[in-house]
Amino acid sequence: MVRFGIIGTNWITERFLQAASKVEDFSLTAVYSRTEEKAVEFAKKYEIQHTYTDLTEFARSQEFDAVYIASPNSLHAEQAILCMTNGKHVLCEKPIASNTKEIEEMISVAKKHSVVLMEAMKTTLLPNFLQIKESLHKIGKIRRYFASYCQYSSRYDKYKEGIVLNAFKPEFSNGSLMDIGIYCVYPAVTLFGEPNKIQASSYMLESGVDGEGSMLLTYDEMDAVIMYSKITDSHIPSEIQGENGSIIIDKIHTPEKVTIRYKDGTEEDMTVAQDENSMYYEAKEFVSLVKKNQIESEINSHENTLITGRIIEEARKQIGLTFPADK
């Protein structure tokens, strides 16, 4: 049994717990929150025995083996490092950290203490994404990866009223690229590795983060075109184009329908059944790694996380997006 502690008591944590509760050998024993009231309320809801409001005390606790971190992005590195230094395995929400310096330090600490460190990127562990990966050969020489994830944020309405919530605050290492652009970048890295060149552009909000943007990643024989936004919606699918056909993906962040359209006009439905709670597979992968004493996932590997971090960092440099954490 892998006993979990939780940092962060928001909607994403609740969704993760609904998924993880279906995983064999998962148990929830501890929760950390800055306020006693929130910790107790959350503990009551999920029948958690141990509550903490002191992070150091939480990290040193003997009541859990692994931690799921879903706090603001700017806190990820510090919290993960404290937990790993105390021998805890860490599953950390994406983006795993504010910048590559933090990612490198996190990986180094994980190796030193022989604990699992995995970025909670759900997409790349989904059965339909694995199906895409295994079907690439069917479309011949790949020439283009196109990924679009544009989702109008409910918090943007507040922003327009002059109320800047966490999602649009640079001090929390937030913004469109960090929040949802990563869902387009990470799969590209998993499938095609590190690009040779990165070109990025975006629309910057007055709060200091990007509202939307696009990116062109250049590889030896192909390119990757990426679009993301928190201030508009898009309804177009994503696509991987090969010389013999295209793989059409309904939603790059959570592929649920995957079709190959061949050059000769025929179609092949590649869709496989998967759990409706897409976070199930990341929880399952992580628990499996802990049980097997493996310190990283082959899919959401340290290397893939680091390459993704490098791409995002270069894009941020080009669009002029800096965080307090960078200084």
| Span 141-182, pLDDT tens digits | 999 999 999 999 999 999 999 999 999 999 999 999 999 999
**pTM of the shown model:** 0.97
**Which residue in 73, 79, 100 sits closest to 34, CA to CA?**
79
Distance CA 66, CA 81 (A): 13
Distance CA 11, CA 30 (A): 17
Return the half-sphere exposure (C-beta side, CA atoms, 13 A cut-off) of residue 327.
6
Residue 219 banded pLDDT, cuts 50, 70, 90? very high
* pLDDT recorded at residue 126: 98
Q: In 136-239, where does DSSP find H-type helix?
A: 154-160, 176, 182-192
* pLDDT recorded at residue 307: 98
pLDDT, averaged across the chain: 97
Note if the bond before 255 is cis, omega within 30 degrees.
Answer: no
Distance CA 190, CA 300 (A): 8
* pLDDT recorded at residue 163: 95
**Which residue in 11, 32, 40 sits closest to 80, CA to CA?**
32
Residues 6+ positions from 180 with CB-CB distance below 8 Å: 149, 150, 151, 228, 229, 230, 253
The pLDDT tens digits for 54-98 are: 999 999 999 999 999 999 999 999 999 999 999 999 999 999 999
The pLDDT tens digits for 280-312 are: 999 999 999 999 999 999 999 999 999 999 999
Residue 104 banded pLDDT, cuts 50, 70, 90? very high
The pLDDT tens digits for 257-287 are: 999 999 999 999 999 999 999 999 999 999 9
